[in-house]
Amino acid sequence: MISLFIIFVLLGPIPSLQGTQYSEKLVIANSNGSFTDSYAYFTYQNMTEYLQGLQKNYSDIISVSSLGKTYQGRDIWMVKISDNVTQEETEPGVLLMGAHHGCEQLSYEVLLYFITYLIKTYTNTTTNNNETEDQPSLEKVKEIVNTTQIYIIPMVNPDGVEAITRKNCDPNYGPFGLRNQITSYGVDLNRNYGYKWFSWFVRPWSYPMMSQLRDSSDMYRGNQPFSENETKAIKNFVESNNISISVSYHNSQQCILYPWWYNMISTRDTQLFRSVGTNISHLDGYTLYGRNLLLGYRGSPGTSEDWLYGAHGILAFCIELGYSAQPDLILNMCKKEVNVGLYICDIAGSIHTKQKDWVETHQRAQ
């Protein structure tokens, strides 16, 4: 079985990672380039070793740090990529997240691919394989890394990844946490963020998906906002860093979503959301949904997108990737999302200016 070391078909192997533990994963294609093996996703341990190897060998542009521990004791790894990676600069920040839902493996595979692409391209000084130092893509990557702070959290929910479950693995003590014994396990982390979280109790008739209140539900939102270690870790990180734009990856039906999720009104930046979302759609071919479409997603307080935008003015998107177990289709999906990632990083500066205006207006309103 082969994990996402299909990256080496496109980029060539990273020499420092060609040790025995990775050697079986480097042979992805036969001599005519067709895929010859079935696909296996990264495990948490695979990913941890891989990221630590990248940090060891490319420490000038990548750092790997833990934002906190899950209930089962796993680190929530955050990757930072920047030309001055040990410094906190005033450059705009980009936040990319995967695996809020542990069973959505593609959501972290595309991010691990993007990390590798950035590092391999930025550090490329060779002229073989038709790559030269003045190649536009190379110069664009260098410009992005030199002018942006890129933060990537591939597995927000590593316990769920290991259990292959949508929710995390924390024990629940009834829907409101008041029982004396465990009644179920797990919280849907993408319903646990704090923006408008209490809307359920103010306007219950507006929310048809009442199953989110049952702790046995796959979409159970927790007994209070930010009740989970994982969402607390994201909250603490965002509130101590300068983030301008964010994309959270999921697996569903190949679409692009933006706030609001808790209701169907327009945001003050709907035109900007639609403009950026349309450009993303041109790059990956997915459908951009407006507030009056995809009704099943609306009426869901507690998403990261609503909190990032509503509480902090961060332009926050959700990209649903769809499902696939075919290596060639997964590779194509990853390559398309590289273009999306580069675009998001490229516009972060202009979004950063607008975000500062939003924060100032928001503070005055308070």
- 350 located within any domain: yes
Q: What is the pLDDT of residue 30?
A: 27
Spatial contact of 151 and 314, defined as CB atoms under 8 Å apart: no
**Strand 93-97 and strand 243-250: pairing?**
parallel
Distance CA 210, CA 295 (A): 15
- 1 located within any domain: no
Range of the domain at 152: 7-365
Distance CA 172, CA 174 (A): 6
Q: Which residue has the tokens 């590779």?
A: 331
**SS percent in the chain: helix, strand, coil, step 5:** 40, 15, 45
Residues in the chain, total: 366
Strand, coil or helix: what is 262? Answer: coil
**pTM of the entire predicted model:** 0.85
Instruction: Give the number of domains in the chain.
Output: 1
C-alpha separations of 194 from 16, 75, 224, 262, 336 in Å: 42, 22, 8, 11, 32
- 82 located within any domain: yes
Bridge partners (DSSP) of residue 248 are 97, 318
- 2 located within any domain: no
CATH number at residue 16: 3.40.630.10
- 197 located within any domain: yes
- 241 located within any domain: yes
Q: What is the pLDDT along the chain (366 residues), one digit of tens a residue?
A: 334 433 333 333 332 322 222 222 322 322 233 334 556 789 999 999 999 999 999 999 999 999 999 999 999 999 999 999 998 888 999 999 999 999 999 999 999 999 999 999 999 855 344 443 434 578 899 999 999 999 999 999 999 999 999 999 999 999 888 999 999 999 999 999 998 877 665 555 455 555 667 899 998 999 999 999 999 999 999 999 999 999 999 998 899 999 988 777 889 999 999 999 999 999 999 999 865 454 555 567 899 999 999 999 999 999 999 877 677 788 889 999 999 999 999 999 888 766 656 555 554 444
Distance CA 229, CA 338 (A): 29
